[in-house]
Amino acid sequence: MKILFISGMANRGGTETATARLVVLMKKYGDEVFLASDQGPILDEIKPLLKNNLIVDLYGGPLSYIRNAIKIADFVKNNQIQVIHSQMARPVLACCIARLFNPAIGIVWHSRGLPNSTYPKICRLFNMLKVFAIGNAKQEQDKLKRYGYSEKLVSYTYNPLPKIEAVDQKKKQNNTVQLLSVCRLSPERNVEFALDMLNELINFDLNVHLHIAGSGIELEALTNYAKKLQLEDFVTFHGALNFEQLKELYYQSDIALNTLNLSGDDGAGVGNNNLEAGRFGLPVVAFDSCAVKEIVVNGKTGYCVSVNDEEAFIESVKKLINNSDLRLELGRNLYTHVNNLCSDDEVYRQTIKIYNKALV
C-alpha cells in the first residue's frame, strides 16, 4: 500500500516520535511510505526509509495553507498515494482538497489530543467529510464518539514500540535509585512537582538521583528552581536526546515518573514515555491523566494515583525506592503488558484494518 503520512517534524515531541515509529513499522511490512512535513532532526533520521518526501509549512497562515493543499494534491497524484494518514488535525482539510482530485483516496486522522473546546467542531466536521479517525488510546476513541464521530468511522491503536536490545532485569548493584522523567518541558507536564518530590525524598535520607530528559520552554526555569532547592548534586538535566541516547538512560534507571497531571478531557493517549518505560522493564508512577491507566495499571504495572494526589504519588515512589523486588515485579509486568498491546504484528494489523476501511 502507498501511504502518505503528514506530520510536524520540527521537534522531538510525542507526535513526531509516533510518526517516525509508524514509518518504521509500515516500511518493515513492505508498504511504500511517503511523508509531508516540515524540517527537523527526526526527518533526517527516517529519510532513508521514505519512498519520497515533501516539505510543507504546516503552521503558516491562510495563503500558506492553500499552497500546501495544492502541493499535497499534486504530490498525491504524482506518487499514486492510496491513503493519507494525518498525524494532526490542522492538515486534514488540505487532505480533503487533495481527495477532490482523486475520490478513491482514503483519509485518516490520528487524534493525539485537542483543546476541549475544539473537539465538538472538529469531530462533527471530520465525520461529515468521511475522514476516518484513529484515537491514540481506547479512551480517546470513546471521546471522539462522544463528541460527534459515528461508530463506523472511528477506531484506535497504540503507538508502535521502539526497537531495543534484550532487557537485563537483574538487580542493580548501585545503591542509588535512579528516577527518570522523559517529556517536553512545558507547564502542563508538571515537572516542577518532580523536583519538589525529589527534595522531599532527600529530606527523608533516601539515596536517589533524578534524570530529566527533554527540552522546552521551562528548561531554564526548572534548572533555576533546582538550584534554589539546592538539588544540583541530585538531578541531571539531559536536554533533548535522540532515542539512541535516551536508551542509555532507560537502561540505567530504576523507576519512571510521569508527572502529567490533567483532568477531564484535557490531553490524550497513554504517553510514549510510559510505553518506552515498559519496553525497558521499568515500573511507572503516574497521575491518572488522559488514558495512562490503560498502560499503568495501579498496583500491577506501576502506580496510577488520582489527579492532584501528590502525597499518594510520593508515597508510591517511596514504596518502590525501598523495595527492589517490587520494582522488578512491576517492571516485568509492565514489560509484558506493553508488548502484548503494542507488538508490531498487533499495531500493524489494526492500522491496515483502518486503512482498508478508509478506502471503502
What residue spans define the domains of the chain? Answer: 2-160+343-359, 177-341
**pLDDT score recorded for residue 60:** 82
Q: What are phi and psi of 158, to 5 degrees?
A: -85, 165
User: Rounded to two decimals, what is the model's pTM?
Assistant: 0.89
Give the C-alpha distances (Å, rounded to integers) separating 134 from 98, 141, 295, 355.
20, 7, 18, 10
**76 exposure class (CB count in 10 Å sphere: 0-12, 13-18, 19+):** buried
- Quick one: average pLDDT of 135-149? 96
Q: Domain 177-341 maps to which CATH number in 1.10.3720.10, 3.40.50.620, 3.40.50.2000, 3.30.1540.20?
A: 3.40.50.2000
Interior/surface letters 45-71, b for 16+ CB within 10 angstroms, e for the rest? bbeeebeebbebebeeeeeebeebbeb
Is the domain defined by 2-160+343-359 classed in CATH 3.40.50.2000?
Answer: yes
Model confidence at 168: pLDDT above 70: no
* pLDDT tens digits, 13-36: 888 889 999 999 999 999 999 999
* pLDDT tens digits, 235-278: 999 999 988 899 999 999 999 999 999 988 888 999 999 999 99
Confidence of residue 58 (pLDDT cuts 50, 70, 90): confident
- Quick one: average pLDDT of 72-94? 94
- Quick one: average pLDDT of 333-350? 94
* pLDDT tens digits, 205-229: 999 999 999 999 999 999 999 999 9
- The residue among 163, 156, 234 whose CA lies nearest residue 195 is 234
Q: What are phi and psi of 80, to 5 degrees?
A: 55, 45
**pLDDT score recorded for residue 167:** 64
- Is there a shared CATH topology between the 2-160+343-359 domain and the 177-341 domain? yes
